[in-house]
């Protein structure tokens, strides 16, 4: 079993990374080489701007290369709850922003010819308890009435046509969305950005950003760079002068296992429609079939950071969950196990805009694959002066009380979620 991301391990090599030191002057310096930063670099370079992307590690090696591989519409939290929280108009705008994000991913794949095994099969949210299905039915009614009619409520009498498991009591199908190979998409996006003129630097953690005349000086371990504008796209970065952002994000670990290749007939019986799946528990699971016929199975597992040997312990928890959901896979070999950090905001809505003159976009809260790609494109518009393009521009973002960057409260939250899952 490899304690490594399946997406990163099976991605083609990236040939477009600069070997030269970080130096010179550019129009925009992008801090972070995940989907947000790469998408922004691509959009800006397409318009003739000079762009340098600096990543503390491997391009696409953070959350962008360590997630569940789902590209779905729908907000991070339950839509009915969001309506109650922010009102119908704001909730509708949030939902439509995520629908637009799916469109952005699909558009970039087409325009740049990115080979990433994209499959537009939609998402099925599975009710883990009878009362969960009752709530899904109410949510589906509101979604259908207010924002999206391309959905379907699937009752318990039909749910086994979708998932051959006794674990579920129905589900809500949202058809707009799909899944892809995250590593291949990251490489394709990076190559496209370079093809249009951007420069990418790996293993270049930023240690300082300071004002320099009419722009900024960026100091990294691989050199220094001057830029007219800076765009921070790092998520819950542990590196560099980003304490203001760290105090507003809770980096929650999410963990994934991937099985050995399984018989196509087995997968066709268990999951005949090859959708992206997620369950309704607070300590929820998500799963899908990979392009080479493996089952990817993920979830919170444990409220801890992602690091060895924590990933292995979380992997054993996920393996037990997989066996409970699909007993015939109880003996399937696990080939990959890894973890990653989800940059959670308190309300689970993204944040984007400017702080002290520096642009930023982050806080995708577990729904970042599509939104990060979309917000890279959006923030390119914002940097060029179109502030109204940002759907999250007027959301307040106070610091999390008592949070200085290290999430000491995660074990408490995890215990609360486990207890609530028993009674909810």
Taking the CA of residue 171 as centre, how many other CA atoms within 13 Å lie in the half-sphere pointing to its CB?
A: 24
pTM for the predicted model, two decimal places: 0.95
Separation between Cα atoms, residue 371 and residue 105, nearest integer Å: 9
Q: Which residues contact 418 (CB under 8 A, 6 or more apart)?
A: 283
Token pair 């249009």 is at which residue?
196
Lowest-pLDDT range of 220-234, 301-315, 394-408: 301-315
30 - beta bridge partners? 53, 231
- CB neighbour burial string for 368-384, b if at least 16 within 10 angstroms, e if fewer: bbbbbbbbbbbbbbbbe
Rounded to the nearest integer, the mean pLDDT of the chain is 92
Q: What is the pLDDT of residue 411?
A: 63
Rounded alpha-carbon distances, angstroms, from residue 386 to 334, 375, 378, 383, 390: 47, 13, 9, 7, 8
pLDDT band for position 74 (50/70/90)?
confident
Domains observed in the chain: 6-413 (3.50.50.60)
Q: What is the pLDDT of residue 307?
A: 57
Give per-residue pLDDT as tens, 171-214. 999 999 999 999 999 999 999 999 999 999 999 999 999 999 89
Secondary structure E strands in 213-279: 215-220, 223-232, 250-259, 276-279
Q: What is the pLDDT of residue 236?
A: 64
Q: Which helix (H) or strand (E) holds 246?
A: helix 243-246
């Amino acid at each position: 079993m490899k304690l490594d991301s399946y997406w990163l391990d099976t991605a083609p090599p990236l040939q477009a990374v600069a070997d030269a030191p970080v130096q010179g002057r550019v129009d925009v310096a992008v801090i972070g080489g995940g989907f947000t930063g790469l998408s922004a670099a691509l959009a800006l370079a397409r318009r003739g701007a000079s762009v340098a992307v600096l990543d503390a590690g491997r391009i696409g090696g953070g959350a962008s290369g360590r997630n569940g591989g789902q590209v779905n519409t729908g907000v991070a939290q339950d839509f009915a709850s969001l309506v109650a929280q922010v009102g119908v108009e704001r909730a509708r705008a949030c939902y439509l922003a995520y629908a637009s994000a799916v469109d952005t991913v699909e558009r970039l794949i087409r325009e740049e010819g990115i080979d990433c095994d994209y499959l537009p099969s939609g998402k099925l949210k599975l009710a883990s308890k009878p009362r969960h299905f009752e709530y899904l039915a109410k949510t589906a009614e509101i979604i259908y009435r207010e924002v999206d009619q391309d959905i379907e409520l699937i009752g318990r009498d039909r749910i086994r046509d979708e998932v051959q498991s006794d674990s579920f009591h129905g589900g809500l199908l949202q058809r707009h969305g799909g899944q892809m190979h995250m590593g291949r998409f990251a490489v394709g996006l990076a190559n496209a950005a370079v093809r249009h003129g951007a420069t990418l630097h790996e293993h270049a953690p930023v240690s300082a950003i300071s004002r320099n005349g009419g722009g900024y000086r960026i100091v990294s371990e691989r050199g220094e760079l001057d830029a007219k504008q800076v765009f921070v796209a790092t998520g819950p970065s542990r590196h560099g002068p980003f304490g203001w952002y760290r105090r507003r994000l809770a980096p929650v670990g999410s963990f994934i296992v991937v099985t050995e290749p399984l018989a196509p007939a087995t997968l066709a019986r268990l999951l005949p429609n090859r959708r992206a799946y997620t369950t309704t528990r607070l300590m929820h699971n998500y799963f899908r079939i990979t392009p080479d016929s493996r089952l990817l199975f993920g979830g919170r597992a444990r409220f801890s950071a992602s690091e060895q040997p924590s990933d292995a312990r979380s992997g054993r928890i996920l393996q037990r969950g997989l066996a409970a959901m699909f007993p015939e896979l109880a003996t399937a070999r696990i080939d990959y196990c890894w973890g990653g950090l989800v940059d959670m905001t308190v309300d689970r809505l993204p944040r984007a805009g400017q702080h002290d003159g520096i642009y930023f976009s982050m806080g995708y809260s577990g729904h970042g694959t599509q939104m990060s790609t979309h917000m890279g494109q959006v923030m390119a518009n914002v940097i060029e002066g179109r502030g109204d393009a940002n759907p999250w521009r007027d959301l307040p973002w106070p610091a999390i009380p008592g949070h200085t960057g290290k999430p000491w409260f995660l074990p408490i939250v995890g215990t609360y979620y486990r207890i609530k899952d028993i009674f909810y």
